[in-house]
Structure 1
Amino acid sequence: MNPVLPLAALGLVDAGFSGFRAYAGHDARIRKQRAVVRAALRGLSVGTVLLLAPALTAGAVLLFAGDPDRAYGTLADGGTGFLAPLGVYALAVGLSLASYAALPYRASTLAMVLGLGPLCLVRPLVVAVACAGALAAGGGWTSLLVGAVAGAAVLCVEPYVHRRWYAFPA
């Protein structure tokens, strides 16, 4: 299985949510759907640019490898190991969002507080576990390198968007 597309999709979805999180709490208006969409698109655009870093890192690994086919297989194994913890995390976030959307007001608020709140806090730990998964899956140091660059990229989206657009009140 080639993990590139699922990893890219998860990274881009995470970037959109990071843009939203950077904006959340900065606007007291009731009707703010356009601002929320704008924030998510800002996160997505920043994430798209930052996620070029792991793609270029993987490309450099393949370019300088003595045996590109073997290096590709190693990176694919590492990517699969990187994807496993992220998939579990994405499933937990998806279930929490589904609970928020489907449950009545009080229960959906509880789902947000008990689900999405702690899940946002453990994102860096999940990225670290994913890097360890890339190494444990047989990806070697090259997969660890690409995974660490990818992890740093997704974790930098929210702070960048916050500082660029939302650090000071509008």
Structure 2
Amino acid sequence: MTPAIPLVLLGLTDAAFSGFRAYAGTDARIRKQRAAARAALRGLAVGAVLLLAPTLTAVLLLLTARDPARIYGLLSAGGLGYLLPLAVYAVAVLLSLAAYFALPFRGSTLATVVGLGPLTLLRPLAVAAACLGSVLNGGGGPALLVGTIAGAAVLCVEPAVHRRWYHHVR
């Protein structure tokens, strides 16, 4: 199985959340479900465009390789190593989100303060761990290159969305 599909799905989900985070706190209206959904879609769109960079990098590596089967094997092994730390991180985020939505007000506030807030700050470390995992799992230089570009892409979604649509506070 190729790890590309789960990685793309994780990247696009992260991009949608990044769009929402770029919007969060910029609007004092009480009813803002549409605006939050629009922000998530904006993040998804920006993330889809930015995630073309690692995709094109992987394709170029495969097209220019003397031994494409070897490069494909390295990218697959690196992708699995990249996926493991991100999957652990995603499970922690999902558990915090479940607590946020399931618990009463005080519990959901605690879930935000203890879970979602720190996990947002740990995103760059999760990406760094994923890059390390891609190398440790045998992906070598090609997997590290694609993983680093993918990590930079997902970390750039929130600032790009914020700068384009939400740089002013309403």
TM-score normalised by structure 1 residue count: 0.99
Which residue of structure 1 aligns with residue 60 of structure 2? 60
Instruction: Give the 3-state SS of the residue equivalent to 2:138 in structure 1.
Output: helix
Aligned CA-pair RMSD: 0.6
Which residue of structure 2 aligns with residue 15 of structure 1? 15
In structure 1, list runs of 5 or more residues that go unmatched: none
Between the aligned partners of 2:97 and 2:32, the Cα distance in structure 1 is 19
Between the aligned partners of 1:34 and 1:127, the Cα distance in structure 2 is 30
Between the aligned partners of 1:93 and 1:125, the Cα distance in structure 2 is 14
In structure 2, list runs of 5 or more residues that go unmatched: none
TM-score normalised by structure 2 residue count: 0.99
Question: Does residue 46 of the first structure (1) align with residue 39 of the second (2)?
Answer: no
Which residue of structure 2 aligns with residue 146 of structure 1? 146
Deviation at 1:169, TM superposition (A): 3.1
Between the aligned partners of 1:42 and 1:97, the Cα distance in structure 2 is 21
Deviation at 1:108, TM superposition (A): 1.0
Which residue of structure 2 aligns with residue 78 of structure 1? 78
Question: Kindly, what percent of the aligned residue pairs are identical?
Answer: 68
Task: List aligned pairs for 1:25-40, cutoff 5 A.
Answer: 25-40=25-40
Between the aligned partners of 1:66 and 1:140, the Cα distance in structure 2 is 16
Between the aligned partners of 1:69 and 1:142, the Cα distance in structure 2 is 13
How many residues matched?
A: 170
Deviation at 1:92, TM superposition (A): 0.2
Between the aligned partners of 1:168 and 1:99, the Cα distance in structure 2 is 31
Deviation >6 Å, runs of 4+ = none
